[in-house]
Structure 1
Amino acid sequence: MMEAQLARCVAAWCPGATGVAGATRLSGGASQETWSFDILHPGGDIGAILRRAPQGYGAAPARAAGLNAEAALMQLAHAAGVPSPKMLYVLQPNDRLGTGFIMERVAGETIPRKILRDDTFAAARPKLARRLGGILAAIHGLPLPQLPELRRMTAATEISEIERDYRSFAGPRPVFELALRWLRKHDPGPSEDVTLVHGDFRHGNLIIGPDGLRAVLDWELAHTGDPMEDLGWICVNSWRFGEIDKPVGGFGSREELFAGYEAAGHRVDASRVTFWEVMGTLRWGVMCCGMMQRFRSGPEHSIERAMIGRRSSETEIDLLRLLAPGGK
């Protein structure tokens, strides 16, 4: 069924395509799906990825930019030389596939355990932190007038939304209360620099090969705001996967990340990065609580949700380390 739908769609925009093969669903949440397939073509088959919200599905989460905005951002990033999959096609209503887009498939790895431990990536790991700093600088340098319509986020807005979500759960968590109080007290105010913020720049959304970073994925949480937010988010301990002494994704140091960022002509405000690291740690903890609540109350008792939900206790330990005098 899906291959037939894709074949009809591809025939309309890919001259010479003779069909599609190997359509496989990779993932699917409450409102979105990801499919991998090959476009059959006499000049050589094309590996492709479909990312879509099928017709009739509910609206995307409030924080999401939307799939059309995500497609526009990826096109802009690719044109500017940011490692991002090439956009092949944006779905239209007459395709009857819902809302979304088709992009080229990029070979590589997204599983953190493999990236951090397999010999295949041994040569890439020492260079990744600095490289990611440079990529974030390029993302933050994309011209604001060319961006699609996006949410404008500030630290105060973020604190308010996190607290709203946290208060919707049953029972207080003293460490989260402490973190909220710390964030309010240390809110640095609106950033003088307002840029595009990727919003979810971390393991899982980065395709890595033996040669290093190959593509940045999942732009659905993109917004405009403080560029230091992205630098703080990649340093959250939950994305180190056990390599606690390597703050940047478990493979590098903050100094290397900052050096790559500043070498690209952008300034780092380390105190704001620390603020956003605390914010990101609390945000992930609250998100974990939300996963557990959906596991307990929802009709679908997903083991994956339960496994993520239990990690809220890990974020409490991380917050205590961050908020201790001299802690990080």
Structure 2
Amino acid sequence: MHSAGSVCQPRAICPSSPPVDRAESELAAHLANAARGAGIDCRHVTGLRKLSGGASKEMWAFDIEAADGTKCPLVLRRQPAGRRFSAQGLASVAAEAAVVRRVAEAGVPVPAVAFELPGGSPAGDGYVMARLEGETVGGRVLRLPELAAARAGMARQCGEILARIHAVRDHATLMLAERTSAEELAALEQRYRDTGQPRPVFEYALRWLAGHLPDTGRNVLLHGDFRTGNLMVGPEGIRAVLDWELARIGPPAYDLAWLCVGSWRFQRPDLPVGGFGTRDDLLASYAEAGGAPVDRDALHAWEVFQTMNWGVMCAGVAEAFVAGRRTVEAGVIARRASETEFDLMRLLAPGHGAWNAR
């Protein structure tokens, strides 16, 4: 696990090139000022470069060079000034940083937060964290031979990590959204209606959920997007849990079910937990680490909910794509709405193996 105390400690890394255009030079200057304001020894910022990935936030890698010449490898996660913030996410990226700090105290593996951009910064709304090494691309996590040993234990590791997240009790100060099961279902239906795309499978799933989604019961701190792709993996296992922008308060099964959605299995439908493990291992480890027992029928109902949840997200991207907000990534995501319809039909077929898959 990553230690929060290692942020900006001297570490040998390869030299990198300085920013090459004015916008990057200005961003580097803002980062240097923010670092100094946070009490960090920063002579200047070097090696600034934009990272690929990140559907809703920008990610920038850079190094802080101290007065003695040592360099600290970091990553900026930000919402650029002027860009519309996700309606489902937290109120700010700074709020996300507060969540990351809190779960780090609970022993959850996360990149340590170094500092935040001050309010009103020309660089936007964001925070800076330690730059770790590892694989995050889902398909590669499930294929790379050097990660075979990691995959074998990841379902149990996920259960342990989720139990630690859900055990955080002093989360009231984080001011996170909290919904009952009925409110979650109503919000899901409204987002579906807002897409303006009638889908018979979604209509049926909504009716089924109305009769099967259990009452919320005990609510806990949730990651909100705990899945393959948001887990940084090395040969020894999960090194860090990333992307906390959908953190909220809700039922434990919300996180557990999201990890089991078919779209996160990356061509491994036989392994329901992220394409790398079984529900039995996930739930056993979750209970061993202190998580409350999870009813299998409740988990199944939340898997139906989360499968449709992802489908509605895809349909929303499709609506935006048709309206003209077009990117290659949006086009790829939009097409996956139909994939979730197939997954829902499997999940809702009485007696189908999806009900009892381990």
- Offset from partner CA, 1:245-288 (integer Å, 9 cap, x none): 00001000000000110011222222221111100100111111
Which residue is 2:100 aligned to?
74
Question: What is the distance in 1 between the residues matched to 2:211 and 2:130?
Answer: 45
C-alpha displacement of 1:39: 1.2
Counterparts in 2 of 1:163 and 1:95: CA distance versus 1, 3 Å:
closer
Which residue is 1:125 aligned to?
151
Counterparts in 2 of 1:31 and 1:314: CA distance versus 1, 3 Å:
closer
Unaligned runs of 5+ in 1: none
Which residue is 1:93 aligned to?
119
Q: Is it true that 1:151 corresponds to 2:177 in the alignment? A: yes
Unaligned runs of 5+ in 2: 1-24
Question: What is the distance in 2 between the residues matched to 1:170 and 1:294?
Answer: 11
Question: What is the distance in 1 between the residues matched to 2:160 and 2:88?
Answer: 26
Q: What is the 5 A alignment of 1:1-328?
A: 1=25, 2-27=27-52, 32-41=57-66, 42=68, 44-58=70-84, 60-65=85-90, 66-93=92-119, 95-145=121-171, 147-191=173-217, 193-267=218-292, 268-298=294-324, 300-327=325-352, 328=354
Work out whether residues 110 and 204 of structure 1, in 8 Å CA contact, stay in contact via their aligned partners in 2: yes
Counterparts in 2 of 1:167 and 1:16: CA distance versus 1, 3 Å:
closer
Work out whether residues 73 and 147 of structure 1, in 8 Å CA contact, stay in contact via their aligned partners in 2: no
Question: What is the distance in 2 between the residues matched to 1:44 and 1:64?
Answer: 36
- Offset from partner CA, 1:182-232 (integer Å, 9 cap, x none): 0001121122x1110111001221111111001111111111110111000
Work out whether residues 202 and 249 of structure 1, in 8 Å CA contact, stay in contact via their aligned partners in 2: yes
Work out whether residues 129 and 256 of structure 1, in 8 Å CA contact, stay in contact via their aligned partners in 2: yes
C-alpha displacement of 1:3: 1.9
Q: How well do the aligned residues superpose, as a CA RMSD in angstroms?
A: 1.8
Work out whether residues 31 and 57 of structure 1, in 8 Å CA contact, stay in contact via their aligned partners in 2: no
Question: What is the distance in 2 between the residues matched to 1:251 and 1:311?
Answer: 21
C-alpha displacement of 1:294: 1.0
Work out whether residues 31 and 117 of structure 2, in 8 Å CA contact, stay in contact via their aligned partners in 1: no
Count of aligned positions: 325
TM-score (norm. length: structure 1)? 0.94
One-letter amino acid matched to 2:192: Y
Question: What is the distance in 2 between the residues matched to 1:64 and 1:22?
Answer: 30
Question: What is the distance in 2 between the residues matched to 1:61 and 1:162?
Answer: 15
C-alpha displacement of 1:43: 6.6
SS at match of 2:73: strand
One-letter amino acid matched to 1:241: F
Question: What is the distance in 2 between the residues matched to 1:166 and 1:12?
Answer: 44
SS at match of 1:221: coil
One-letter amino acid matched to 2:224: G
Which residue is 2:11 aligned to?
none
Question: What is the distance in 1 between the residues matched to 2:101 and 2:172?
Answer: 11
C-alpha displacement of 1:14: 4.6
One-letter amino acid matched to 2:296: A
SS at match of 1:245: coil
One-letter amino acid matched to 1:260: S
Which residue is 2:13 aligned to?
none
- Offset from partner CA, 1:120-156 (integer Å, 9 cap, x none): 1011101000000000000000114454001002221
Counterparts in 2 of 1:6 and 1:70: CA distance versus 1, 3 Å:
same
Question: What is the distance in 2 between the residues matched to 1:34 and 1:196?
Answer: 25
C-alpha displacement of 1:31: 6.7
Work out whether residues 34 and 115 of structure 2, in 8 Å CA contact, stay in contact via their aligned partners in 1: no
One-letter amino acid matched to 1:87: V
Work out whether residues 314 and 334 of structure 2, in 8 Å CA contact, stay in contact via their aligned partners in 1: yes
Question: What is the distance in 2 between the residues matched to 1:15 and 1:314?
Answer: 47
Percent identity over the alignment is 46
C-alpha displacement of 1:179: 0.5
Work out whether residues 55 and 98 of structure 1, in 8 Å CA contact, stay in contact via their aligned partners in 2: yes
- Offset from partner CA, 1:45-104 (integer Å, 9 cap, x none): 11111112233333x222211312211110011122110110101221364322221111
Work out whether residues 129 and 257 of structure 1, in 8 Å CA contact, stay in contact via their aligned partners in 2: yes
One-letter amino acid matched to 2:64: I
SS at match of 2:268: coil
TM-score (norm. length: structure 2)? 0.86
Question: What is the distance in 2 between the residues matched to 1:238 and 1:28?
Answer: 17
Work out whether residues 144 and 196 of structure 1, in 8 Å CA contact, stay in contact via their aligned partners in 2: no
Work out whether residues 11 and 19 of structure 1, in 8 Å CA contact, stay in contact via their aligned partners in 2: no
